[in-house]
Amino acid sequence: MDLIHKVMNIVLPPITLTLLLLFLPSFFVFKFISCIKRYITSEKVAGKVVLITGASSGIGEYLAYEYARRGACLALAARREERLRAVADKARMLGSPDVIVISTDISKVEDCERFITEAVNHFGRLDHLVNNAGIIQIDMFEHCKEISDCAILMNTNFWGSVYVTRFAIPHLRKSKGRIVGISSIAGWCSIPRMSFYCASKAAVTSFYETLAAEFGPDIGITIVTPGVVESEMTQGDFVSKAQMDSVPAESTERCAEAIVNSACRGDRYLVVPSWTRMSFLLKVLCPEVMEWYLHRGNINNSASPYRCKAMDMTRKLMNILLPPIALIVLLLILPPYLVLKFLGLIKGFTAYSEDVAGKVVLITGASSGIGEQIAYQYARRGARLALVARREDRLRGVASEARKMGSPDVIMIRADVSKVEDCKRFVDEAIRHFGQLDHLVNNAGIPCVCLLEEAPNISDLNSVVDTNFWGSVYGTYFAVPYLRKSQGKIIVISSAAGRFHSPGASIYGASKAALISLYESLRIEFGSDIGITIVTPGLVKSEMTSGELRSKAKIESIPIESTEDCAKAIVDSACRGDRYLVEPSWVGILFLFKLLCPEVLEWCLHWLFSSAPRNLKKAA
């Protein structure tokens, strides 16, 4: 199997590039024709039923008005019932034939089930579900007084969308309806001081991309990534705290109109305003440049004396002028940037790789799989180890083997990373024993393979995010002061599922996408003080991928990499100071497909994984 991976690492990239060059011209022609067709056959929503969360203000309020102008019946949900009633009155004046208001807190699963039931009981159907409700928090990661309090962002922004979607699916299947998921540009363009908001929105985007592959043509999904929009969320001291004084804000009315137009056309994605797409291009082609720019702005805590309001002319000019200007700038900076990157790569592979002999490495999820093999790799290099996991008996075996391989000192700490108090305890114990911390490896995780609509109890899925996401967050929060002292490194084990979204893994993929986004934000906040290596492994042989999991996930035909090879690549990458590692490297080719032709990747995934949902249901 290792030989297969080596061959694929060499052969697959040129084959893929050749196929893309042959395929892309005809694909773009087809996409252009499809775009024209969608404009001509845009859906008429008069008389249809639209449910909007977070409808009491901001984007949600103006989405209600936009749907009302088109004659849709509305179910408006939010916590502030008095404000909702005012929105409902105006929506009726604008042309909605029937409007109901439902006071609810979408972070509570029982509230979400209740308001879906109320809406369907009143109207008898559901055609569009607009998941818009969200909150924002702006603060440096280290300045959070109680790290567990930050869970409210994930509970509202992510779980609120998950719960509502879960209960709406049967009704949307009947009507061949559509889900409109309001994410944010912050979900793929990580911003300092907004790490948890970015992570929650990355999770939302990943979740709906996975559902799009699961549902196929049965339920349409439009994922919206707005930039800065004038609303309650962006009023007050938001602009100065987020250091976005010079970023033009899109008007809420224009944003809402663009969203409803996009949903009615059946678009898969909408970026509004369109000029913000350029930030994605910059991130893909030269992420270090974007990180440097954002870190510089984060350190230079100055605010502009005025804020550029995005008047219609400003917005139109930026949509027209910014793309060609950005392309010209990229063409000028890319050649020297790529040369510097190549030289940096050579430097990392040679004499500048870090020697970890005698250094202290804390590894979570070290009782088996990748975590166990990472412990052995560090042990061979003479590092001192703090091994963390729930299974103490299994940890003892790993610790004993690590000592034999050359680690001068190994301690074991039994802990559950999903509990904030356990995370504080294992960091404190490691510091008490060793007096320092040099590398933190956030590896602990659990799998989850289940179609969303087949989950018997949706709230049971919280444990996936609690372990995979919050387990890394808590450990990092308590370790940061010690890593600053040692100029240390954080190695975070995400997954290819956080980038490429496989049906049956919507919650797992979302938890891993949230990890990537959070640590991209932290990398900007920390600058050169703490190095961060984000690892996205493909399918690796371990307890997580053994048994019936591969058949449930329908990934039996995908080559599986040995845990030893993966762990060696991870430790080598961390010692070189790499920002990212994709292992095996051929998996990175999928990113080209997602970037250039996401519809093709989505169709392939739907065909491969969801063509026989009964099998998945039976396996579950």
Residue 229 dihedral angles phi and psi, to the nearest 5°? -120, 140
Contacts 24+ apart (CB under 8 A), 4-7: 4/559, 5/559, 5/561, 5/565, 5/584, 5/586
77, containing H or E segment: strand 73-78
SS3 414: strand
Residue 157 makes CB contacts below 8 A (sequence gap 6+) with: 133, 134, 135, 197, 200, 201, 203, 204
- Among 579, 617, 594, which residue's Cα sits nearest to residue 223? 594
Peptide bond before 273: cis, by omega within 30 degrees of 0? yes
What does the alpha-carbon distance between residue 38 and residue 104 come to, in Å, rounded to a whole number?
35
What does the alpha-carbon distance between residue 395 and residue 412 come to, in Å, rounded to a whole number?
7
Active site residue 197: yes
CA triple 103-105-107, angle to 5 deg: 160
| β-strands 49-53, 73-78 pairing | parallel
Give buried/exposed letters for 384-398 (b at 16+ CB in 10 A, else e). bbbbbbeeeebbeeb
Half-sphere exposure of 181 (CA within 13 A, CB side): 33
Among 65, 163, 197, 378, the active-site one is 197
List % helix, strand, coil for the chain (3-state, nearest 5). Answer: 60, 15, 30
Q: Which residues have a catalytic role annotated?
A: 197
